[in-house]
Amino acid sequence: MPDYPHPLIAKEGWPFIAISFALALGATLLFAPAVAFIFGVIFIFVLQFFRDPPRRIAGTDAYDVVAPADGRVIAIEECEDNYLQRRALKVSVFMNVFNVHSNRSPIDGEVKQVWYNPGQFVNAALAKASTANERCAIHLKSATADGQDVTCIQVAGLVARRILNYMEPGMTLTRGQRYGFIRFGSRVDVYLPLDAEVRVSIGEKVYASSTLLAQLAKNPHA
């Protein structure tokens, strides 16, 4: 599958990049080199945070599930999916401030519902962040013949203060398509049917779109 359309620098970062560049330029013109250096480092940090590089999209099958975010796998467990009121298999990806923070659809499917929940901003690496923190969830009905359900949840982190989600019910997404962004550290939880086969392990580093996260069962009711 070809690269998805990408801006190289995420549009969500343009105001922050402009402000940090103006501060760095002003510090260079008006202050001592040490001060200018500090503001220059801040500008470089902001620029790298909002990078959005092209990616190959993993998988060739409608049952393939790709990573929705860059980061490290911190949880693979059976738990309650409170959005769809079911037992599910949860795979969580933690993003630190040095990861790319664009979020991509894990599957081909239709957005059935979107939920936003205000909440706290505890460390996103902690288990309780999934239910305590500010979060935005989407229910995706897979494009497979059996229409399996996948819930994908953006979770704010300790310093994250803005979840951006551009989806509305009735929209369709293709695997690896960009659908949102979280500013400054966070996690994404994916809830899969219990019979899905997870293809990653705890501690593994994954890349949005490019890492095969799991596969949905092809005969879930057989």
What is the Rg, in whole angstroms, of the alpha carbon atoms belonging to the chain?
18
> Contact, 207 vs 71, CB < 8 A?
no
Q: How many residues does the chain have?
A: 222
Cβ count near 157 (within 10 Å): 25
Within 50-178, residue ranges assigned H as helices are 129-132
Half-sphere exposure of 53 (CA within 13 A, CB side): 11
Residues with Cβ within 8 Å of residue 16, at least 6 apart in sequence: 46, 50
Parallel/antiparallel/unpaired status of strands 212-215 and 197-198:
antiparallel
Catalytic residue at 105?
A: no
User: Which listed residue (186, 201, 209, 210) is catalytic?
Assistant: 186
Residues serving a catalytic function are 186
